[in-house]
Amino acid sequence: MQISNNTVVTIDYTLTDDAGEVIDSSRGGEPMAYLHGARNIIPGLEAALEGKSAGDVINVHVEPDDAYGPHHEGLIQAIDRSMFEGVDTLEVGMEFHAQANDGSMQVVRIVSVDGDDVTIDANHPLAGMPLNFDVTVVDVRDATEEELSHGHVHGPGGHAH
């Protein structure tokens, strides 16, 4: 079976940056399963997997626009430590959920702490980075009606309710 919309795809992958440093990998662990066409993975990787079958091996270079987008300086801002009510220790790298101006929730990461000034970054950590994927397609199957209605995979490698 070939990968197309509404199929459940299971892959083993290694993700590296342009310097060859490993950012993430499923190798040595459980393969990742996703619902193809449901925007569960970055667009550049999903497009490269279209039409592939179990056993296929691909190497994909994905530019930022087809991954996590460009890095936006406007998403970096300094805020007062008092905004972190109830948090005693603030350290670089900590992540928090915050409400965006449009009311949606977003993840922000602390990038510096200087006294009461805390600089946060709402960019995805991989924004602005070209990404390289080494992927082996492990399995392809039709999605269940429940998976289609929920928009994600259930069971091993996917979401459990």
Q: Could you report the average pLDDT of every consecutive run of 10 residues in the chain (161 residues)? A: 97 97 95 96 98 98 97 95 92 91 89 96 96 98 95 71 49
Q: What is the pLDDT of residue 133?
A: 98
Q: What is the pLDDT of residue 129?
A: 97
Residues 90 and 16 in one domain: no
Residues 138 and 117 in one domain: no
For 41, residues 6+ apart whose C-beta sits below 8 A from its C-beta are 34
Q: What is the pLDDT of residue 100?
A: 80
Report d(CA 27, CA 42) in Å as an integer. Answer: 19
pTM of the predicted model as reported, rounded to 2 decimal places: 0.83
Residues 64 and 116 in one domain: no
Residue 145, φ and ψ in degrees, nearest 5: -60, -40
Residues 86 and 135 in one domain: no
Residue 59, φ and ψ in degrees, nearest 5: -120, 125
Classify 66 as helix, strand or coil: helix
Number of domains the chain is built from? 2
Report d(CA 155, CA 106) in Å as an integer. Answer: 27
58 part of a folded domain: yes
Q: What is the pLDDT of residue 158?
A: 56
Domain range for residue 60?
A: 7-68+126-150
CATH number of the domain to which 142 belongs: 3.10.50.40
